[in-house]
């Protein structure tokens, strides 16, 4: 989108100008989440990949937003977003 703007061609006597508008491509999931079945006390690693780097995502359990804590860690490396849930218990289902 930073390429958007007015562009001019000038031959010394005349000019012609055009406006270029670049629309942002939608962000899509390239790699979706997969179901996991793990033992209590274990660690769950949930990862997804989006089509653009540095796009913020929000992790949720049901409708509740998950934030980084001792229980859950959230990482982003380029296009890959990972939620790690430590010391699993039945309430994490």
Residues 6+ apart with CB under 8 A from 28: 50, 51
Q: Determine if the pTM surpasses 0.95.
A: no
According to DSSP, residue 66 is labeled P
Question: pLDDT (tens digit, 9 = 90+) per residue, 47-71?
Answer: 999 999 989 999 999 999 999 999 9
DSSP states along 28-50 = -EEE--------TT--EEEEEEE
> What percent of the chain has pLDDT above 70?
100
Fold of 30-85: Immunoglobulin-like (2.60.40)
Q: Where are the domains of the chain?
A: 30-85
């Amino acid at each position: 989108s930073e390429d958007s703007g007015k562009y001019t061609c000038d031959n010394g006597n005349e000019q012609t100008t055009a406006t270029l508008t670049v629309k942002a491509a939608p962000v899509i999931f390239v790699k979706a989440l997969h179901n996991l079945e793990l033992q209590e006390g274990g660690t769950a690693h949930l990862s997804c990949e989006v089509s653009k780097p540095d796009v913020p995502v929000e992790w949720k359990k049901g409708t509740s937003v998950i934030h980084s804590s001792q229980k859950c860690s959230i990482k982003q490396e380029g296009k890959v977003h990972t939620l790690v849930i430590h010391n699993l218990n039945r309430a994490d289902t």
